[in-house]
Structure 1
Amino acid sequence: MTDTPLPVQALIVVDVQKDGVTGDRAVPSADVLLDRTAGLLARARGAGAVVVHLQNDGDPGAGDEPYTPGWALHLPVEEGPTEVVIRKTWDDGFKDTSLGAVLTEAGVESLAVCGVMSEMCVQATARTALELGYRVVLPYDAHATHDVPAAPGISEAVPAAAVSRVAAWAISADADVTTAATDVRFAAPGGA
């Protein structure tokens, strides 16, 4: 990690939906996640970077079932030429979506990923981005998840912060996961 990290050209905001960040189903420290994500959004927009909001379409009865209150994106979207919402049904934001095409058409070569859940949709999307050749930044304080319950006779409960750390560690050989959200810099595609 350098003192002045290279800027990234896109921000992927993964599943920051009401169900995961408000109420009794919110991830621990949802307020911190929302603050960090809002800061990333402001800087990405200000730099002309591409912003993609991934929105999960949950199964019937799930907290993120389409068109229910929990399905709604929590942070404001400024849809336009460089900001879009892409709905998905898989953990991986690239699978069966237009995400790859959006990034390719914009000329994106590097991106930051934030959101929920660290060990599921955030990690799956970041891993595929790496496999596709993107430079990936995963700010350690801009993704979150829930505690993993204890497995009687096997292990104690695993706190959410540890789960997030392990999820990031699993891809740390290929992605920059040491950067704080406030250290992520952005540039318009073609400008970095």
Structure 2
Amino acid sequence: MQGNQVALLIVDVQIGSFREIEPLYKAEELLKNIRLLISNARKKHIPIVYMKFNDKPGKPLERGTSGWDIHPFIAPTEEDTILEKNHPDSFHETNLQQELAIRGVKRIVITGIQTEVCVDATCRHAFSLGYDVVLVKDGHTTYDSEILMASQIINHHNKVLHQWFANVKELHEIEF
């Protein structure tokens, strides 16, 4: 079945990532930006796929805990697809590629958490699979590390991914 040729992919925006003890960089802005992307996608009947990371027991995104749930500010509807994953790469050992193929998706707009891990791995694999990858420049975030501030990590990945693996666009430039 051929359908829309674009999909919105929301990577790991789960409650457990929004911890006060280790705050996400620009967390509120991220949620607002993703909510706007969702609204724009729904207006044009663009498929929306949510990825949920199954973390190890005792971790903030442990499967089955309240932290594992998708953040309620960007809650999915019955029309949306929710897939679980056990690895940073949203394609690795998941049905994501099959779900996109069923819908005839050729271009993926990617947003989510965590810039240098799951977002990066997903962008690179999507590119390797031949998708036209669009990374929302102001639609992904991370935490400060021991070495770099979150803003530095985000800026670095926007630059590297744009050079090789994705068309990096700001929220206002995204068209479905």
* TM-score, normalising length: structure 2: 0.92
- Give 1 or 2 for the bigger CA radius of gyration: 1
Residue aligning to 1:134: 131
1:1-192 aligned at under 5 Å gives the runs 9-74=6-71, 75-80=74-79, 83-149=80-146, 157-173=147-163, 174-177=165-168, 179-186=169-176
| Residue identity matched to 1:24 | I
Partner Cα distance (1:14, 1:176) in 2: 17
Bigger fraction of residues in helix = 2
Give 1:148 deviation, angstroms.
1.2
| Residue identity matched to 1:39 | L
Give 1:101 deviation, angstroms.
0.2
The answer to whether the Cα contact below 8 Å between 1:11 and 1:44 also exists between their aligned partners in 2 is yes
Q: Residue 45 of structure 1: SS of its match in structure 2?
A: helix
Q: Residue 140 of structure 1: SS of its match in structure 2?
A: strand
Partner Cα distance (1:70, 1:26) in 2: 14
Give 1:22 deviation, angstroms.
4.6
Q: Residue 161 of structure 2: SS of its match in structure 1?
A: coil
Identity of counterpart residues, as a percentage? 30
Give 1:102 deviation, angstroms.
0.4
Give 1:68 deviation, angstroms.
1.1
Partner Cα distance (1:59, 1:168) in 2: 28
Give 1:117 deviation, angstroms.
0.2
Q: Superposition RMSD on alpha carbons, in Å?
A: 1.5
Q: Residue 171 of structure 1: SS of its match in structure 2?
A: helix
| Residue identity matched to 1:131 | S
Q: Residue 137 of structure 2: SS of its match in structure 1?
A: coil
Structure 1: gaps of 5 or more residues: 1-6, 150-156, 187-192
Aligned pair in 2 of structure 1 residues 145, 101: CA closer, same or farther (>3 Å)?
same
Bigger fraction of residues in strand = 2
Structure 2: gaps of 5 or more residues: none
Give 1:8 deviation, angstroms.
6.8
* TM-score, normalising length: structure 1: 0.84
Q: Deviation string for 1:52-82 (max 9, x for gaps)? A: 00000000110000111211100211122xx
The answer to whether the Cα contact below 8 Å between 1:22 and 1:30 also exists between their aligned partners in 2 is no
| Residue identity matched to 2:148 | V
